[in-house]
């Protein structure tokens, strides 16, 4: 095998800080997924609160069956 020659080191010129303006361009990166949009959380409503509202609907005389009153009470209290 032939012996290798040592590498010559060359001095590195430093670039003055204000020598050239740096252009800033937006870079698209398709690897990064878009940020998820936070959805507002549905309010937590207890069964007791639904039962009380369903009873109020029944007492008003404008309700329907037990299931309809319950469903209406859920919709009203949960904001659906």
Q: How many CB atoms lie within 10 A of CB 74?
A: 16
pLDDT value at position 38? 75
- Encoded tokens for 36: 């998820």
Domain ranges of the chain: 47-78
Query: Along the 80 residues of the chain, how does pLDDT read in single tens digits?
Result: 567 777 676 666 666 666 556 666 666 656 666 677 777 777 788 999 999 999 999 999 888 999 999 999 999 998 87
Per-residue DSSP letters for 21-47? PPP------TTSPPPPPPPPPPPP--H
Question: What's the confidence (pLDDT) of residue 5?
Answer: 73
Q: Where in 1-80 does DSSP place strands (E)?
A: none
């Amino acid at each position: 095998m032939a012996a290798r020659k040592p590498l010559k080191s060359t001095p590195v010129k430093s670039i003055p800080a204000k020598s050239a303006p740096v252009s800033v361009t937006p870079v698209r990166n398709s690897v990064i997924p878009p940020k998820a949009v936070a959805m507002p959380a549905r309010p937590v409503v207890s069964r007791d609160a639904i039962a009380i509202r369903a009873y109020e609907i029944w007492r008003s005389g404008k309700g329907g069956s037990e299931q309809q009153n319950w469903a209406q009470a859920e919709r009203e209290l949960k904001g659906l």
